[in-house]
Amino acid sequence: MTQGTQGKGATTPTLWDRTRQLAAQEILQTALRLFTHQGYDETTIAQIAREAGVSQRTLFRYFGTKEDLIGGTEEQFAALLTETVRKQTADVGAWETLRAAFKAALSLHESPEQALERFRLVHHTDSLRAAYLGKRVRCQEELLPVLEARLAPSGTDRGQARAIVATAFACFDAATATWLESDGQGDILDLYDQCLAAVRS
């Protein structure tokens, strides 16, 4: 198996990589369609696999749990947020750094329409909502030491860093809820900026 290059340091996905991506996308689209039409709790893994044309074993190779079909694994999500925060240059402030992390998380969705489907499912399904809230708390704890290290030179202590992270997540949740109420009108990050401005004023 060979890999080509696209410019310096870039790699071209192999045929195997592209095949896996297409298969994962087909499974995901099938799952979202079934979840939307008949409900998350009412949809089984067996049904998703059957309609996507794969075995359950194959499905679990791409998505470890049924919940992963909605928002990806918790480890991947936390890693994306923390890595995005780490990559921000030292001159980028805490609020801008966390905004970049949310932007990276939103980029996991193929389109605003797919994001709308996922967020609706999470907000309107009790089991997914509870799982999301737990994931959010754990992600905040993962982000805390990374942000704290960035803020240390300015004299910001752990408690203050925790408050900044919690406020950012609360504003993101408020923006998402507002976006859902408007049936996906506008941009979540613009709504996030408005929510944060209201808190900080």
The amino acid that residue 117 corresponds to is E
In this predicted structure, the answer to whether residue 161 has a pLDDT above a threshold of 80 is: yes
Q: What pTM did the predictor assign?
A: 0.79
Tens of pLDDT, residue by residue over 23-35, are 888 898 899 899 9
Say yes or no: 153 and 118 in one domain: yes
Mark which of 66, 84, 102 sits at the end of a domain: 66
Residue 2: pLDDT band (50, 70, 90) is: very low
Nearest to 166 by CA among 147, 188, 146, 140: 140
Same domain? 100 vs 195: yes
Taking the C-alpha atoms of residue 147 and residue 94, their distance in angstroms, rounded to an integer, is 7
CATH classification at residue 44: 1.10.10.60
Burial 179-200 (b: 16+ CB within 10 A, else e): bbeeebeeebeebbeebbeeee
- What number is the average pLDDT over the span 160-188? 95
| Interval 167-193 mean pLDDT | 96
Which structural domain range is residue 118 located in? 71-200
The total of structural domains in the chain comes to: 2
pLDDT above 50: residue 1: no
Q: How far apart are CA 195 and CA 171, in angstroms?
A: 5
CATH number for 160? 1.10.357.10
Q: Is residue 10 part of a domain?
A: no
Which residue would you say has higher pLDDT here, 121 or 5?
Answer: 121
Q: Are 30 and 51 in contact (CB under 8 A)?
A: yes
Q: How far apart, in whole angstroms, are the C-alpha atoms of residue 53 and residue 26?
A: 9
List, for residues 27-62, the tens digit of each pLDDT value.
Answer: 988 998 999 899 999 999 999 999 999 999 999 988
Same domain as 124, residue 61: no
**Residue 115 and residue 51 share a domain:** no
Q: Would you give the DSSP letter of residue 125?
A: -
In percent, the amount of the chain with pLDDT more than 90 equals 56
Kindly report, residue by residue over 124-160, the tens digit of the pLDDT: 899 889 888 888 899 999 999 999 999 988 888 999 9
